[in-house]
Amino acid sequence: MGAHVDQYAEPAVEARRSLVRDIVADGGLTDPAWRAAFEEVPRHLFVPYYFASRSGAYERLWCEDPDPVRRVRWLRGAYEDGPLATRVRDGRLFSSSSQPSLMARMLEELDVRDGDAVLEIGAGTGYNAALLSHRLGDGLVTTVDLEPEITESARSHLAVAGYRPAVITGDGARGCPERAPFDRIIATCTLQSVPFDWLPQCRPGARILAPLSTGLITLRVRDEDGQGHSAEGHFLRTSAYFVPLRGGVLRPEGHIGGLPRRAIENDLFRFLLTLTAGSLDPHEALSLWERERRPQRDRFGVTVSGRHQWAWLDDPEGPYTWPLGTPAG
């Protein structure tokens, strides 16, 4: 079997450079190593087709479409700074390739160092694993996904692009103990709470970065003198919307009837609603939100200790703390 010939290699080079220029102009990719990864890893090889939303339906764009105009649209879309729907079932988004500028922000916040072993939860198309492999080397990168068709596809895309990290089919909520310990864990799917199984697979001082509620939580892992692991950290200020872990759903926000529209339509208030769902009545959440002058995401944090975890505002010791739900898995 001959080597893959990429007919889009040349036009894709300038498309990648343009994408990187846009991300840099917006303040991203300040680390030269990550900038080089985004300039050199060919995203189009990881999205040979995707679904563009048009008039409430999904339109499939494909690299081998007989129509040359549609092929141009496909390549242009592959290098726009936006998420791409890659798997749709019964009209519902099942898997996607994340917005490149958000991926860049997350990878820089992961704060990797040469030699760090990284576990990625949610293989997706394989593109994020390729960026990690470019930065750290194949042997230090593990990506896990529950769906065999996703891991098979990601493995194939990675091989075509010249990368061979470990691609594991399994429950991401359980981590990947056979490849542990890890210095970093990054999730590309939304969590309801932090899976407890992750912490023992981390080295002391490891960093976890994951979407939670509609934000991004960064946790630092500690070894409590042989008494187990704990983790604690703040949310980043940015918003983040991902497909839920294992195809699940976020906890319901509770009955929001009677809440003013200005609150319901406010992104920061919806973040607080989701974070406190099941623990705080939505009307109490609104009262807190207004009393605390509509706090940004980075005033909130999460603590994991023993078999307990909770979210908090300003201080993990209170007065404003809420238990997080049962972790997936």
Q: Which residues participate in catalysis according to the annotation?
A: 95
Separation between Cα atoms, residue 140 and residue 250, nearest integer Å: 31
Say which residues have a Cβ less than 8 Å from residue 187's Cβ, sequence separation at least 6.
Answer: 120, 121, 122, 172, 208, 209, 210, 211, 245
Q: Give 272-278 contacts, CB < 8 A, sequence gap 24+.
A: 272/300, 274/213, 274/214, 274/250, 275/212, 275/213, 275/215, 275/300, 275/311, 275/322, 276/311, 276/322, 277/250, 277/251, 277/252, 277/253, 277/325, 278/251, 278/254, 278/325
3-state secondary structure 51-92: EEEECCEEEEEECCCCCHHHHHHHHHHHCCCCCEEEEEECCE
- CA 216 remoteness from chain centre: 8
Separation between Cα atoms, residue 300 and residue 320, nearest integer Å: 10
Helix (H, G, I), strand (E, B) or coil at 24: helix
Contact 179, 142 (CB under 8 A): yes
The pair of structure tokens assigned to 20 is: 């990187």
Contact 179, 168 (CB under 8 A): yes
Residue 142: name the closest of 156, 155, 161 by CA: 155
Question: Strands 215-223 and 229-239, how do they pair?
Answer: antiparallel
Separation between Cα atoms, residue 41 and residue 130, nearest integer Å: 7
Phi/psi of residue 118, nearest 5 degrees: -120, 135
